[in-house]
Structure 1
């Protein structure tokens, strides 16, 4: 046999010998993982788990205590001014009053059972399936989950904390089993409805009944009880007064679910169910101890803290974050400067609220004011005005986002144009000197095609050929509507988001050029602070620092990245100085004797039907946004312009027309007056803008058109040297005496709903804006179509 044959024989033999080895390996695996062993391991783990549970059951006792002591152990939160020493407020003691179950109507009791745990009277106090699911979700990091029984929720509220940990869930399971054995179902149900959090700082059904319906728990109807049972699932989302449209729809569905379950449980007659109407809760009221502006400041600080707890993963949603804050033990130092806060409150009182008289004029009761003041270099909110009194008006006007910012949005359009070096549709770069057609109701076009939008100017004034600077000064709608399409509405909305506006309702449509989205004074102060900070993002910060013995909160930097170029931001600032010196804000701001040469940039705004009026302005050191909002103090009627009156509910948006005995309320009136009275006292030394731009009124002298030439004399007219002789038959008339009566200044009706009102004529005490004219090279450059 040759070597090759011998090698092949060895290899072949090797292959034949390898086969039994593989078979042996498979057999070894089968011997190790047999069905018997797998089942045995499974049952062994089950026995081990059962043994562990038995041990836990023996070791874990039901904690001692009572609801009264539990409530007494709740801690307060301490809020301080920016100096870190002066206490602004101390708040956080729980609003809870324990009531016996017998005081709660039986159908209302059943509403809670129908909402949370239909098998409550039959189960052993534990939903093993739901608890297992919750444990798995906790271990996998998916956050808190529902599915607990009423007993488990009571145990969590009464005996344990809200932390989402495996240890806490296991304790909840064991204690729930023991409580169910030791206590009656009525005892557990009473504990559950008395310890649960219902929103509006209400703990327990008695506090909730008062907070939502102004009645004792014993007077609740079935429909009202079903709402309170429904709101427990998501108090922040389902509170009717602050819920979004989606939240309101969801809570209505939840309310119907509760009642339908009651019918299924034979606790409610189907016919009675069919006749029920959704019981809208009453308006919320602030908690005692938070009178005046303190409540608004505390509420703004709490909301910022809650958002940060969610952002850093300490809480999974708004309700859990609120529960952590409400639990107490926080020391929160605000950025609020006590002196500036007092100056802002004084300015609102002297310029607005002291002039309102609801007994003489019903409309005066509908006027709400909000303001936020920010340091643009640090992002600190140094002063905030949320309303006349937190206990009288619960909604914080400084942070509400349900009113249109109107023409205060126009600077965002210009910022987008300069940032992206946009051009008009004929290729002309958009600058402060670009000439547009300012004709009222001029159709907006996109590459020659009409887009179906032709907004009117204020009072339907036709301005003709005007520069962008003039258009900003006079707040000419037709110009900025066309500019928005020239830039691209997608880009305009992106710039708005970059500057700090919430994009939730900002659709990229031409109508948004009129500022038809919702915004708050806090939001607009942040946008303008970013402009004042040369394009570096400013996120207004209410909180300076947070301390807690159990938790650490890292606050984000209020100054962020460069979101638009310095040239774009400074160009807008330069242009906005023209609004103050030669535009819609000149009367209240330019001519204010306290100005003392201070350079100011700003923009007015007045929304459709005069429902809101704004002035957002700034110096190099201080940015302040002031908004006035028409909000119905009670149900009644309102009208838009000369339209027929329409019925409105309490808190609906209504016109400000006629407030304080004047005509139209506009941004250049009360809001600008409040801004000036506050800013010129609070700003400190006079300062100038450091601008890197060659555009706008802030770096160029305002252009004054030359007077028209004198007409040439005609032969029929005498020259100055040769006066025409008087006819002898014409007696000489004496010159008329000057009239001592002032000129008539009748209020001007606002436009119809189809004609949005942007920066209307100031109130009677102010002269009306110039209806036309131009500046800054109004006759240079091509007319933009």
Structure 2
């Protein structure tokens, strides 16, 4: 009995040692049994241990019971919802209303027209084209029950947790959103979408659902439905679409504006082609397309767009950017996909007020006309027909886009030159290199801090050295001009490629591109290679205006914003603050500004800006840029309050927008940043700037202030010139003959380099800074 009770006590968690005798040895016999019984009684009277309590609380029966109870409740709730929620009346057209766009002062800029839609029966769409949409969006469409339970559950969870945009819905669900509901990302809408999709799948045939889907979807270019899309992109009726064209239209639905060939960036075009290939490959996998036919197919480049009425002149460019930025805000706030956000903006009854100042907008348009387009004669000079101008003007304190020039006319040139990023910014990128050096307290390879008065070797074609090793990169200066040893200030003034190429290696190209990204350049996919010091990547006037506005704003990030407010049926969308965090230190930003005043007063922008009679003592900072083979020319300049980027681009529209040189434009041998772009900038800025202002700079470096230290020599580790610099090649005949002032705003070096910059022998100095990259140099950037 004693042993049995002891075992039971152990099972209850109350095991205790047998009583011991006074000598410490365990007792035996009856005493041992009595001790066991006592231990058992004590164990029985003691409360159960914690472990035993948890086991009793979470038994398998209770867990399974709870699980099945929740499932039953869920099923019951869904049955109730299924019975209660009816299929509503379709509202695809009822919710379409014109958007109203206003200037910042409330004056009407434009009203969008009626919705571009024409419903067509499915039998008017080729069967192969129908399959394109199924292959793109929902391969199981013909066999599923209209819903994707996993995708819907994932979407519900992400909506509840505040995560981003969700795709993956079936064609039936997307049709329900388009025709019966809306694009809102709420739990209520998602649950309704699920229930209605199940009912629609039961009541309608698959062909009816597919017809509704392709007739209510948004394709970009203001086109709703496949008939409008076929006309907008290929100028044909839907019944005449080829499989290749149908696959492109199906691909568009993922991101209409990003994949629109007429306005897509290089990245956007690659993504569009990848999506097009995905659609066709899926069709082969579903046995809807022969593999041999698939291999023979070529990408069908869409036709030029036909803008909607009421968007002539600059209006279309302003509206396009406003729609894009509002859609981006909706994606951020509501977790919409890009396609959903674009559809939620276009023709949805928005009242949108822009930051565009009506007077400044008129002044910018007038400046382009008087300083550029009014001087062009395409009949006399073929090149004059290839000139495209783009400009963006930003209030540096608020980040508001106050004026924008997208091209001659939205009806004539659909792609906005203000936002396109397919041309090199050239030497306007050099201030970013200096900013990276200052931000990271970088030093030359002989240990000298990089500052405005640091000495670099300005010999044209000088091979860049990385701690004694040549990196295989030696860019020529404009006209192959040698400068010898010069300060960073002078190198910026004269835009000396060789000096900044070495500086990029000294700082580290990863750091340079990192700072470029922080300042606002889209560096995704860019290689951090030495060729980038020449500004050989792509950038838009909008990006460059944001970068320079961040300099003007003492290093606080400025994201240029065109939308002031957006209202729709009583609700207001709050746009993100254009002024962001401190992305580079104030001293670094202010030093860049100080140095850039030298470009205006003693460098490549003298004639157009420094000597302009309308300047009236206004302090100005800025930088010129002229790209390889004169395909683009830039001036990005700013006063303390107003930043404006102006770009000129050579584009042959008859050759599908091919980049072409600008030599001979307007009768000038070569288009430099200090020419037409700087002239447009000066005419506009000095006409609208108002009261004269000065930069408030927290720096002791650069042309705007007296440097506190003498220049420090920074000759290359292995290639310091020992003789007077010479011009290894005569200036090219295209170079204008004006001779800028040879004075420099930085003091002479206290330790005399081998040759003073002012003693350079060429008979004349270049008026700008052509980035003379060769094909091999561009290949370093993958271009």
TM-score category (smaller protein): 0.7 to 0.9
Q: 1:774 to 1:114 in 2, by over 3 A?
A: closer
Q: Pick one of 374, 385, 388 that aligns with 2:394.
A: 374
Give the equivalent residue in structure 2 for 1:149. Answer: 170
Considering only aligned residues, what root-mean-square deviation do their CA atoms show, in Å?
Answer: 3.6
Counterpart-to-counterpart distance in 2, 1:656 and 1:28: 81
The answer as to 2:683 corresponding to 1:677 is yes
Q: Pick one of 649, 662, 677 that aligns with 1:656.
A: 662
Counterpart-to-counterpart distance in 2, 1:685 and 1:353: 29
Give the equivalent residue in structure 2 for 1:306. Answer: 327
Q: 1:455 to 1:164 in 2, by over 3 A?
A: same
Q: Pick one of 488, 495, 500 that aligns with 1:475.
A: 495
Q: 1:573 to 1:39 in 2, by over 3 A?
A: closer
Q: Secondary structure at the match of 2:398?
A: coil
Deviates most, 571-580 or 557-566:
557-566
Deviates most, 530-539 or 262-271:
262-271
- Any conservation in 1 of the 2:102–2:108 contact (CA below 8 Å)? yes
- Any conservation in 2 of the 1:286–1:391 contact (CA below 8 Å)? yes
Q: Pick one of 506, 509, 519 that aligns with 2:529.
A: 509
Q: 1:7 to 1:246 in 2, by over 3 A?
A: farther
| Cα displacement string for residues 728-765 of structure 1 (whole angstroms, at most 9, x for unaligned residues) | xxxxxxxxxxxxxxxxxx99467xxxxxxxxxx44xxx
Give the equivalent residue in structure 1 for 2:724. Answer: none
Counterpart-to-counterpart distance in 1, 2:640 and 2:60: 79
The answer as to 2:75 corresponding to 1:54 is no
Cα deviation for residue 16 of structure 1 reads: 6.7
Cα deviation for residue 204 of structure 1 reads: 0.5
Give the equivalent residue in structure 2 for 1:453. Answer: 473
Cα deviation for residue 347 of structure 1 reads: 0.3
Counterpart-to-counterpart distance in 1, 2:94 and 2:383: 45
Give the equivalent residue in structure 1 for 2:101. Answer: 79
- Any conservation in 2 of the 1:334–1:543 contact (CA below 8 Å)? yes
Counterpart-to-counterpart distance in 1, 2:511 and 2:194: 54
Counterpart-to-counterpart distance in 2, 1:186 and 1:270: 25
Q: 1:139 to 1:209 in 2, by over 3 A?
A: same
Cα deviation for residue 359 of structure 1 reads: 3.4
Counterpart-to-counterpart distance in 2, 1:508 and 1:337: 38
Cα deviation for residue 437 of structure 1 reads: 2.2
The answer as to 2:642 corresponding to 1:622 is yes
Q: Secondary structure at the match of 1:383?
A: strand
Cα deviation for residue 357 of structure 1 reads: 2.8
The answer as to 2:240 corresponding to 1:219 is yes
Cα deviation for residue 338 of structure 1 reads: 0.6
Counterpart-to-counterpart distance in 2, 1:596 and 1:25: 86
- Any conservation in 2 of the 1:285–1:393 contact (CA below 8 Å)? no
- Any conservation in 1 of the 2:314–2:406 contact (CA below 8 Å)? yes
Cα deviation for residue 628 of structure 1 reads: 0.9
Counterpart-to-counterpart distance in 2, 1:50 and 1:536: 54
Cα deviation for residue 61 of structure 1 reads: 2.0
- Any conservation in 2 of the 1:467–1:774 contact (CA below 8 Å)? no
Q: Pick one of 603, 609, 616 that aligns with 1:589.
A: 609
- Mapping of residues 633-644 of structure 1, within 5 Å: 633-635=653-655
Give the equivalent residue in structure 1 for 2:202. Answer: 181
Q: Secondary structure at the match of 2:647?
A: strand
Q: Secondary structure at the match of 1:675?
A: helix
- Mapping of residues 154-303 of structure 1, within 5 Å: 154-243=175-264, 245=266, 247-263=268-284, 265=286, 267-303=288-324
Deviates most, 525-534 or 497-506:
497-506
TM-score by length of 1: 0.81
Counterpart-to-counterpart distance in 1, 2:389 and 2:21: 105
- Any conservation in 2 of the 1:341–1:382 contact (CA below 8 Å)? yes
Q: Secondary structure at the match of 2:334?
A: coil
Cα deviation for residue 225 of structure 1 reads: 1.2
- Any conservation in 2 of the 1:408–1:616 contact (CA below 8 Å)? yes
Counterpart-to-counterpart distance in 2, 1:41 and 1:693: 69
Counterpart-to-counterpart distance in 1, 2:447 and 2:156: 63
Cα deviation for residue 388 of structure 1 reads: 1.4
Counterpart-to-counterpart distance in 2, 1:143 and 1:353: 45
| Cα displacement string for residues 348-399 of structure 1 (whole angstroms, at most 9, x for unaligned residues) | 0111112223333332232211111122222222111111122222222222
Q: Secondary structure at the match of 1:71?
A: coil
Give the equivalent residue in structure 2 for 1:695. Answer: 701
Query: Can you give the 5+ residue segments of structure 2 that lack an aligned partner in the other structure?
Result: 1-18, 708-729, 756-783
Counterpart-to-counterpart distance in 2, 1:34 and 1:430: 70
Give the equivalent residue in structure 1 for 2:433. Answer: 413
Q: 1:47 to 1:472 in 2, by over 3 A?
A: closer
Counterpart-to-counterpart distance in 1, 2:313 and 2:323: 17
Give the equivalent residue in structure 2 for 1:499. Answer: 519
Counterpart-to-counterpart distance in 1, 2:269 and 2:731: 39
Give the equivalent residue in structure 2 for 1:713. Answer: none
Q: Pick one of 83, 86, 95 that aligns with 2:116.
A: 95
- Any conservation in 2 of the 1:467–1:775 contact (CA below 8 Å)? no
Deviates most, 665-674 or 249-258:
249-258
Counterpart-to-counterpart distance in 1, 2:577 and 2:193: 39
| Cα displacement string for residues 162-190 of structure 1 (whole angstroms, at most 9, x for unaligned residues) | 22334323322332333333333332222
- Any conservation in 1 of the 2:104–2:358 contact (CA below 8 Å)? yes
Q: Pick one of 365, 374, 378 that aligns with 1:345.
A: 365
Counterpart-to-counterpart distance in 1, 2:20 and 2:623: 103
| Cα displacement string for residues 567-614 of structure 1 (whole angstroms, at most 9, x for unaligned residues) | 433333333222222221112122222222322221110111212110
Counterpart-to-counterpart distance in 2, 1:681 and 1:106: 60
Counterpart-to-counterpart distance in 2, 1:247 and 1:271: 28
- Any conservation in 2 of the 1:372–1:521 contact (CA below 8 Å)? yes
Counterpart-to-counterpart distance in 2, 1:277 and 1:105: 19
Q: 1:275 to 1:19 in 2, by over 3 A?
A: farther
Q: Secondary structure at the match of 2:652?
A: coil
Deviates most, 255-264 or 361-370:
255-264
Give the equivalent residue in structure 1 for 2:352. Answer: 332
Counterpart-to-counterpart distance in 2, 1:593 and 1:31: 88
Give the equivalent residue in structure 1 for 2:89. Answer: 64
Counterpart-to-counterpart distance in 1, 2:449 and 2:218: 58
The answer as to 2:390 corresponding to 1:384 is no
Give the equivalent residue in structure 2 for 1:568. Answer: 588
The answer as to 2:620 corresponding to 1:600 is yes
Counterpart-to-counterpart distance in 1, 2:525 and 2:142: 46
Q: Secondary structure at the match of 2:402?
A: strand
Counterpart-to-counterpart distance in 2, 1:33 and 1:422: 65
Q: Secondary structure at the match of 1:631?
A: strand
Counterpart-to-counterpart distance in 2, 1:19 and 1:776: 95
Counterpart-to-counterpart distance in 2, 1:376 and 1:491: 25
Q: Secondary structure at the match of 1:397?
A: coil
Q: 1:782 to 1:444 in 2, by over 3 A?
A: farther
Counterpart-to-counterpart distance in 1, 2:238 and 2:330: 33
Counterpart-to-counterpart distance in 2, 1:783 and 1:469: 15
TM-score by length of 2: 0.81
